[in-house]
Chain A
Amino acid sequence: MRKMIGIVGEGPTDYMVIKEVIDHITGEANEYRRLQPEPDMAGRFGNGWKGVWKWCETNSGVLDKVLHEVTPQIDLLVIQMDADVSRKEREVHCLCGSVGCEAREVSHPLRCAKVTEGQCPVILPCSMHVQDAGGYEEHLRELIRQWLGICANNEDVLITIPCDSTDAWIVAAYQDCDDVEKIENPWESVIAR
């Protein structure tokens, strides 16, 4: 049966790819809503991984209402964030606590002055996770659940963490190798090859 699917993702390309993938898997022309936070006054956080973060936090208290108390209802919410965010961005490791930082208690990682000043003490790769595709994925998946305030068994929400990014999926589709989604840093190992 056709479903109404909400997608919170990093950008327009991710949205297009995810739509096509879902239609292909379900064999249906589903209906979609691209959900995005409004950018702040400076035009920030309207898209990209920061936008996904902001959307999740803004909607955490009202998620159930936003999905089910607007018609047409959303049957499934898909949240996408690229795995390379875990590999590359210090902010998402702020709360891992691998290093001490006095700003942690007072600043939101997205608005922390230490980050903009290049003073964030987080060391990459973060020692709290397994350093492979599965590790990045697990880290971000858990983080998104925290932002949204949902548990792992929530059936309304599907979190998808493409490795390394949705763009890499497309290339993978043309490659003839096994477990392509588990290849670390596909830019070098698949695409550049």
Chain B
Amino acid sequence: MTITEINVKNFKSLYDVSFQPGKVNVFIGANGSGKSTILEAIGILSAAMTDRVNNNVLQRKGIRLSTSSLYKSKFKTMKREGLTVDMGIQWVDEEKYDYTVHLTTPTDDDAWKYHSESVNQEGNLLWGRSNRSFALLNHNIGYFMVTETLNGHRCRKMGQYIEKYGIYQPDTPTLRGIVADTTQVSPIGLNGGRMADALKEILKSTDGDMKLGTLYVEDILDMIDWASGFDITAPKKANLNPGVPSTRQVIEFKDRFLKANATFTGYDASEGALYVLFMLCLAMHPESPSMFAIDSFDHALNPRLAKRLTEIFSQLMLESHRTVFMTTHNPLVLDGLDLCNDDIRLFAVSRNKDGYAVLNRIQVSKELLESGQPLSRLWINGRLGGVPELI
């Protein structure tokens, strides 16, 4: 199953945007360019296709709530305001499919209303609804996943694939277990909650070697230079200040420079180490979403770590057939992307003269990358776009 196109119309700065994603998709752009809005639009698409769109669902997916009027595009140059927010996704699963939904933003309550919804197979209508033809349907609910017409149909697989989509944005206090994750999602919260438990679930000893998911712990520790080991335990008085509120499990690191029995918890550990574990857990936990987004992938990463983690993370995404959409401000993240692999795609987001967000896929020849012009440099020098113009 391959997603071939995502399109969005009339949503915030995305007046009319479509793009062909790969499996690992990275968006760069100046602040306010609309790159986070793309992550949100995909969230609304996933909610609309598989459930419904209201504040509760949006919050669960990590989408910033706005007042209703701000969801729709508003530009001076628009002849008239569009009536609906339109989203669509196309994919190939032996045959070509597309799903399209037109929504009206909330008026009296927080529920977005379905104006129309349809799914095509090879361009022929498989199923569809509109608020004219099916007056009996509940306009607050999506029917793609529940209509009997599609029961057992292959097209439902895309619904299952994007159902658990959420925008992850881990923050340090939550990763350290000292702040509760308000967006608690299994297996791991959008802000990093429940990380210790989730790690424990994929931490296994095989033939005397510790493995986290498919990776040897030894190799992970190579990225986190200062740690010689880590484990997940119930909090003990010995390793945690009793004044620190904590979750049921804590991550316990062993510092290679301290004596063997000295351990300390995630509360003391460096941000970078926790962030690496979070990303690896998200990438390898069997219950983590098959499609998700990360806003600011570079958070808390030093340059060397940013490049290395990007390489490993991309590889894990491809191996597990997951799809990720992420934003970054860190040029070194780009150097970890193998753009020669067509599944790994880079997009620059900018605003055109009228203020509409414009997306460009960036491809760079291998020869150029190898001639002393890595992606980080091309980005900093302005060649890729996705930078503030007037500095």
Residues of A that sit less than 8 Å from B by CB: 6, 12, 15-16, 29, 31-38, 55, 61-62, 65-66, 69-72
A32 to B386: give the CA distance in the assembly, Å: 11
Q: Is B256 an interface residue (CB 8 A)?
A: no
Q: Which listed residue (A36, A69, A71) contacts B382, Cβ 8 A?
A: A36
Known A34-B382, A35-B383: A70·B361 in contact at CB below 8 Å: no
Q: Tell whether B22 is near chain A: CB-to-CB under 8 Å.
A: no
Question: What B residues does A69 contact at CB under 8 A?
Answer: 364-365, 367-368
| CA of A29 to CA of B387, assembled, Å | 19
| B373:A65 contact, CB within 8 angstroms | yes
Task: Evaluate whether A38 and B373 lie within 8 angstroms (CB atoms) in the complex, with A12-B389, A70-B368 already known.
Answer: no
B389 touches A70 (CB 8 A): no
Closest-CB distance, A2 to chain B (whole angstroms): 10
A79–B360 Cα gap in the complex (Å)? 24
Q: How far is the CB of B363 from chain A (nearest CB, A)?
A: 4
Q: Complex formed: what's the CA distance from A87 to B124 in Å?
A: 70
* Beta-carbon contact of A37 and B373 below 8 Å: no
Task: Point out the residues of chain B lying under 8 angstroms from A33, CB to CB.
Answer: 382-383, 385
* Pairwise interchain contact B373-A62, C-beta atoms closer than 8 A: yes
Across the interface, name the chain A residue whose C-beta is closest to B377. Answer: A38
B371 adjacent to A65 (CB under 8 Å): yes
Complex partner residue of B381 from A32, A35, A72, CB under 8 angstroms: A35
Query: Contact at A38–B361, with CB atoms within 8 Å?
Result: no
What's the nearest-Cβ distance from chain A to residue B264, in Å?
36
Q: A65 contacts B353, CB within 8 Å?
A: no
With a cutoff of 8 Å between Cβ atoms, the chain A residues found around residue B371 in the complex are: 61-62, 65
Contacts A34-B389, A66-B383; is A29 near B364 (CB within 8 Å)? no
- Distance between B9 CB and nearest chain A CB, rounded to angstroms: 20
| From B362, B367, B387, B391, contact of A71 by CB (8 A) | B362
**For A65, what are the chain B residues with a Cβ–Cβ distance below 8 Å?**
365, 367-368, 371, 373
Whether B367 lies near A70 (C-beta < 8 A) is: no
Q: Are B373 and A66 in contact (CB under 8 A)?
A: yes
CB pair A62–B368 under 8 Å, yes or no, is: yes
Jot down 11 A-B pairs with beta carbons below 8 A, ordered by A. Answer: A12-B389, A33-B383, A34-B387, A35-B381, A35-B382, A55-B381, A65-B365, A66-B378, A70-B362, A70-B378, A71-B362
User: Which of A35, A55, A71 is the one whose CB lies under 8 Å from B363?
Assistant: A71
Complex contacts, B390 vs chain A, CB 8 Å: 12, 15-16
CB nearest to A36 among chain B residues = B382
Say whether B383 contacts A12, CB under 8 Å.
Answer: no
Measured CB to CB, the nearest residue on chain A to B371 is A62
Residues of A with C-beta under 8 A to B372: 62
B380 at the interface (CB under 8 A from A): yes
In the assembled complex, how far is the CB of residue A62 from the closest CB belonging to chain B, in whole angstroms? Answer: 5
Contact of B368 among A15, A35, A38, A66 (CB under 8 A): A66
Residue numbers in B under 8 Å from A6 (CB-CB): 383
Supplied contacts A33-B382, A71-B363, A72-B362, 16 more A-B pairs, CB within 8 Å: A12-B390, A15-B389, A16-B390, A29-B353, A35-B381, A35-B382, A62-B368, A65-B367, A65-B371, A66-B368, A69-B365, A70-B362, A70-B363, A70-B364, A71-B362, A71-B364
